[in-house]
Structure 1
């Protein structure tokens, strides 16, 4: 183990859940101090679980970023809900993100999903920047009727840098005594291929209209790494020819925009120069097809 001989350490898995666009990835990137989880203003950007590791005092917290809890008929959406539920069942603790402007119905849905697992959880109130102090106090009051269900409720603001230490201190209380499970120097268990894929997907979300991101995915065909540059060959896969035309854009303007932002984010993450070779392919109905989802790594 990575801290042999030390008996007073803790380590455990913490599932971060909430409705789509509740602020899960923003919170995790802030806690780890790096851009690792996919952030988009559009809902349901995160599709798979991702482990993000934060060291705090004598503890190793392995956060599991999950897709938003939602119910949709499409096969891909069912996979995403399954991912969130598995993370909840496997975790030592759940952090439930609740935007302060939300009604309690989202939290009540979460309670019913967690009923069979009965995993302990903390409520984190997010998106507090645009409400008054009185609104925050009112929301805290509303949650009091469920005070016997949660371990703690913590107001949190990434922009105002409020709540980080309080949240990490609270999480550590519920982790088991354990040697560290991973090398203390690593921030995520994801490999570079998956991180580059997510950064390209994020650029699609940021640069294109609503329909495209939800019916597109990215495959990394090949990465050639050396000390100063990574050469990344990737394909954006869509469901319709019309979507391909929208991504490519007039005289290639759309794919240039997507490639530029993705390359900048990849360079920021890797600290290297990036050569990005990006193409678009059509695979009709991939998000509704089990074989295609297996190919993209969503179903094993």
Structure 2
């Protein structure tokens, strides 16, 4: 019998969850940004390890806030914690233990978890060992603690073989040929959002979202039309930029990401629309796919 199950990948904002998942699957699927709180919704990423199937769940970062959109993001992460077979908790090696202690409080079902000590490239081996000693007082809480370097020292198999140990025997949940249950249009949306985060500074990216208006597969090219949503008229001007330089830069970056994933040429056309205060009311959030239930 094969093993198969859901594994939620959680941690504070900017802990490296999406980067880890892209590395494990060997493709760029999850949105990555050096800015915190870029991931907004759960997404399934499917990885095969030998004959076993792991359904990783990418999640927004664990954090506390009063903003409606951020409350939705926290709720997404908490649902992922409660609905999985195993949790990977990412703990950057330079973090204090408070983030992990906060996670333990939120893990109401005491779901089994593996602690991944990430970003160890930035410190010495002795500092890694010292941090592992600090976590030892919680050794009855986690199954294993694994230092991780996705840049050089660790291989995906090092993590996958440990994950599989804790999954139930179960037939595959998804076709082993697919990498994600996300629709292409949702991945394209995240690529455009990522390009906004990379090219527009300060708080503006957090007050933007993207609607995919059309995806058309033609014989030799994919045609994608999308609208970038902003909260204020002044933000629209900044997204477009002087002489449309900013939106051209965003479009070029997103198009390259799309073409790399699909292996096909892409014509990407971007528009910008103002939806006043969309992040601050439930209807505005629901209109953009964030089903706020609290």
Q: TM-score range by the shorter chain?
A: over 0.9
TM-score, normalization: structure 1? 0.96
From 189, 193, 197, the equivalent of 1:201 is 193
Say yes or no: does 1:71 pair with 2:64: yes
Uncovered stretches (5+) of structure 2, i.e. residues with no partner = none
Deviation at 1:260, TM superposition (A): 0.6
Structure 2 distance, partners of 1:213, 1:155, is: 32
Residue matched to 1:177: 169
Residue matched to 1:274: 266
Say yes or no: does 1:213 pair with 2:205: yes
Structure 2 distance, partners of 1:146, 1:264, is: 44
Structure 2 distance, partners of 1:188, 1:230, is: 20
Residue matched to 1:121: 113
Residue matched to 1:288: 280
CA contact 1:9–1:59 (8 Å) conserved in 2: yes
Structure 2 distance, partners of 1:92, 1:214, is: 31
Deviation at 1:161, TM superposition (A): 4.4
Residue matched to 1:254: 246
Residue matched to 2:33: 40
Q: Deviations over 1:178-224 (max 9, x none)?
A: 01110010000000010000000000000011211100000001111
Structure 2 distance, partners of 1:108, 1:63, is: 23
Residue matched to 2:137: 145
Structure 1 distance, partners of 2:279, 2:219, is: 37
Uncovered stretches (5+) of structure 1, i.e. residues with no partner = 1-7
Residue matched to 1:186: 178
Residue matched to 1:91: 84
Residue matched to 1:81: 74
Structure 1 distance, partners of 2:258, 2:156, is: 26
Structure 1 distance, partners of 2:54, 2:262, is: 23
- Count of residue correspondences: 292
The secondary structure found in structure 2 opposite 1:79 is helix
TM-score, normalization: structure 2? 0.98
Q: Deviations over 1:34-83 (max 9, x none)?
A: 00000000001100000000000121000000000011111110000000
Residue matched to 1:108: 101
Deviation at 1:228, TM superposition (A): 2.8
Using a 3 Å threshold, how does the CA distance of structure 1 residues 76 and 123 change in structure 2: closer, same or farther? same
From 53, 56, 66, the equivalent of 1:60 is 53
Structure 2 distance, partners of 1:220, 1:105, is: 39
Residue matched to 1:20: 13
Structure 2 distance, partners of 1:141, 1:131, is: 15
Q: Deviations over 1:158-188 (max 9, x none)?
A: 1114152221111101111101110010000
